[in-house]
A and B are shown apart, each in its own frame.
Chain A
Amino acid sequence: MKQEYLARAIVVTLLVLVLALPVIGKTLWRLQNPTVLEMRARLPESGGWSPSTITVRSGQLLTLRLTSEDVVHGFAIGKLDQPEIEILPGEFVETTLILSTPGKYVFYCTRWCGPNHWRMRGVINVIGDGPTPTPEPTPLYLGLEIDLDAPHQAEVIPDRVVEPQRGSKLQDRLPSYTLEQATYLSNSPASLWMRLRAEPSLRDLNDDDLWDLVAWVWEQHTSAQEIVAAQELYAENCAACHGETGKGDGVMMRDLPPPAPDNHTPAHNERTRPPDWSEPRQLLGASPALLAGKITRGGMGTGMPYWGPIFTPEQIDALVAYLYRFAWNALSKETPAHP
């Protein structure tokens, strides 16, 4: 009889151990890490971020324990300079944040996880005392009352390759307003060209010279570092839909029909691919304010994400400057694979 009771005791002990292991493990961990918040990433179709809203006091340490339950995701907070964190399925990675300025922060996924990847966003509400956040300037397109959804085909386009270096030789001929920031932002290359064409002092220059000048002006409003940074931003965020060469043939857009360039507000079942930027009329008719506006606000039903909460104004300006290269480079006889 004693043997029977011993046997039963062994069985019960083993079962209790086995049941206790997960319970004790989880409880112990919670006790040791009371302030750690577990953040689970799932495909947007399966729920996205969980939790999707966090509220924290300003200056308070926020430790996030990130994990993914299906594919590779990434974590980053919009408009902050912190590096992104890759989240591998089944793996855990911790990051600690201190947000001292109150306000609303948007965190987002940084690894393409399907066509709804850009919707995978969440909000961190930082409440309490702290420096008042500097308000962001109103996007220029609002101030200029530009209709972002109106077609913007260029009225004129160059008929040969533009060469900004040649344009730089003629820079002394340019009227002073040409190099002002406001002029750059509110004019498309085509509209600036038409203004210069109408200048009496430039009547002796031919059309091609004017295009070289416009291209040179465009170059002055950006820098080599900006272009490199924008190239990376574009590859990570835009290329999947817009294509590595800007043709609107990204892998995510394969199932959609080619674009109708005049319809910027399609119905849900009329979604098309993005426009082909290697077609010069597309971009050369758009002003930087318009492009910045589109990136900020997103498309109305086109599927273009709204990047306003994610990119800083500087990042958007860099991207805009980078985008024009798709058009400029399309005119050259040997179009490079990457502008």
Chain B
Amino acid sequence: MATTELTRSSRIYSLLHSRWPQFVLRALTLAGFIFTILSGLWGSRVGSHNFAIIFVWIAWWSALKLFFIPLGGRTWCSICPIPLPGEWLQNKGILRSRGAQTQPGKRWPRFWRNTWLPVFGFVLVGWFGAVILTSPQATAFVLLGLFLLATVLSLIYERRAFCRYVCPIGGFTGLYARLAPPIVQVMQPSLCAIHTPKTCYEVCPWGQYPPALKTSANCGLCMECLRACPHENISLNLRPWGAELPSAAKLGLDDIFLALTMLTTAAIDTVIFLGHWGVFKSAAYTVGSPAWGIFAASFLLITLGIMPAFYTLVVWIAQRMRKERFSFKRSLAYYGPILLPLGLMSWMAFTLAFASTKSSYLLPVLSDPLGWGWNLLGLTNRVPTGQTSSFSLSLQTLLLAGGAMSAVETARKLSRSKRESMPLLAFIASYAWIMMWLLLG
């Protein structure tokens, strides 16, 4: 399967070149986002009857994990409303790109030019996940907080610094975008070589340099480069799924840690939300109680300690089986690509399990978004208790098995010998089996 150049079609090209389609989508997501915050703050306290809970944690989360990321990489980032006011203020206009009128903004501090802040953000949300996912007000505050933070950071720092270096959603989206098909590429590198102004880099809100773009990890698919290039030399391509494996364009230690955090939180969230152990749910929910203290400590211990230690051990053993050794730090990053398909598939399976029993809430909540007893669409009725279908279970099995398969294939490609891949295999097999046990069994 070769790379497909999407923008070869003039219709697609003009859709991406014009600012209007993307703007309309973003205006709509902004309106929806503001409505979500209002609904969370002002609407019913009963989560199942509030637009904020149902549309953020069931509709949008499922769309993100099951479609946007696996098929489109950072496509959500291209229509995300969170940085919008900041961008408009920076560019002093809605339909404007970065240019002469854009205020310069400070460079994002070097110490934080990595994925560590998104890791912390994600761990924080996971820590309080049981409360956030069930309280409309908590959801609203989290969204409002991200919104305000993005806007303030846009006024101080250059470009979409929040999106690239702070946003917890952006963190894992970028991580798994390495597996997804879309990638922005230059068509004729020779043209770029003789083009001195490098307009594409000037306008890119993500600080990417299109001629050298090898990975989709940090490209927000905003298409500003495509619009700005005077030679129309930029195209949007679709490459085969998982094309960046195993090289994955140099994962850093921060990316590895994020990937491990994603694996751990997928398992912990499955235990809390889909498991049958009531004691963990209550512990995760009653923030401030001694039980929650134990939960919080265990959560941190497993996420920040046990899982990274397990991975480190596995890498150490694998590395010893290899004839020529790298530095240990490099080997941690070197074997990292196995974590990507494993993590994405596990999150997809979890999301499927989580959302499939609650999908029947979507239409009634559209009919009565604030939970005030409205019946806008005539669909407000008592929602039947959802059930897990065998179809959903089969799909989850396929995802987990497929993720393990892809991870093992990556491990093999990274290893010089079967012996070297054995510890990696053990890691992959044990994690995949634990997820299967939690989700299916």
Are A and B in direct contact (Cβ within 8 Å)?
A: yes
Contacts from A to B (Cβ < 8 Å):
3-4, 7-8, 10-11, 14-15, 17-19, 21-22, 25-26, 29, 65, 67-70, 88-92
Q: List 28 A-B contacts (CB under 8 A).
A: A3-B95, A7-B23, A7-B95, A8-B94, A10-B23, A11-B30, A14-B28, A14-B31, A17-B31, A18-B31, A18-B38, A19-B34, A19-B38, A22-B43, A22-B370, A25-B374, A26-B372, A70-B45, A70-B46, A88-B382, A89-B46, A89-B49, A90-B48, A90-B49, A90-B371, A91-B373, A91-B382, A92-B373
In the assembly, what is the distance between CA of A90 and CA of B134, in Å? 14
Do A69 and B46 touch across chains, with their CB atoms under 8 A apart? yes
Partner pick for B94 among A11, A21, A26, A68, CB 8 A cutoff? A11
Contacts from B to A (Cβ < 8 Å):
23-24, 27-28, 30-32, 34-35, 38-39, 42-46, 48-49, 93-96, 370-374, 382
In the assembly, what is the distance between CA of A105 and CA of B45, in Å? 29
With a cutoff of 8 Å between Cβ atoms, the chain A residues found around residue B27 in the complex are 7, 10-11, 14
Do A15 and B42 touch across chains, with their CB atoms under 8 A apart? no
Do B34 and A18 touch across chains, with their CB atoms under 8 A apart? yes
Chain B nearest CB: distance from A28 CB in Å? 10
With a cutoff of 8 Å between Cβ atoms, the chain A residues found around residue B95 in the complex are 3-4, 7
Chain B nearest CB: distance from A38 CB in Å? 9
Chain B nearest CB: distance from A136 CB in Å? 38
Known A-B contacts A25-B374, A91-B382; A69 and B44 likewise in contact (beta carbons under 8 Å):
yes
Chain A nearest CB: distance from B384 CB in Å? 13
In the assembly, what is the distance between CA of A326 and CA of B49, in Å? 44
Known A-B contacts A4-B96, A69-B46; A15 and B373 likewise in contact (beta carbons under 8 Å):
no
In the assembly, what is the distance between CA of A331 and CA of B46, in Å? 49
Chain A nearest CB: distance from B361 CB in Å? 11
With a cutoff of 8 Å between Cβ atoms, the chain B residues found around residue A15 in the complex are 30-31, 34
Partner pick for B44 among A7, A8, A65, A90, CB 8 A cutoff? A90
In the assembly, what is the distance between CA of A67 and CA of B95, in Å? 46
With a cutoff of 8 Å between Cβ atoms, the chain B residues found around residue A68 in the complex are 46
With a cutoff of 8 Å between Cβ atoms, the chain A residues found around residue B39 in the complex are 22
In the assembly, what is the distance between CA of A65 and CA of B23, in Å? 42
With a cutoff of 8 Å between Cβ atoms, the chain A residues found around residue B30 in the complex are 11, 14-15
Question: Nearest B residue to A12 by beta-carbon distance?
Answer: B27
Chain B nearest CB: distance from A305 CB in Å? 27
With a cutoff of 8 Å between Cβ atoms, the chain A residues found around residue B93 in the complex are 4
With a cutoff of 8 Å between Cβ atoms, the chain A residues found around residue B38 in the complex are 18-19, 22
Known A-B contacts A25-B372, A25-B374, A69-B44; A18 and B35 likewise in contact (beta carbons under 8 Å):
yes
In the assembly, what is the distance between CA of A188 and CA of B206, in Å? 87
Question: Nearest A residue to B364 by beta-carbon distance?
Answer: A90
Chain B nearest CB: distance from A289 CB in Å? 46
Question: Nearest B residue to A26 by beta-carbon distance?
Answer: B372
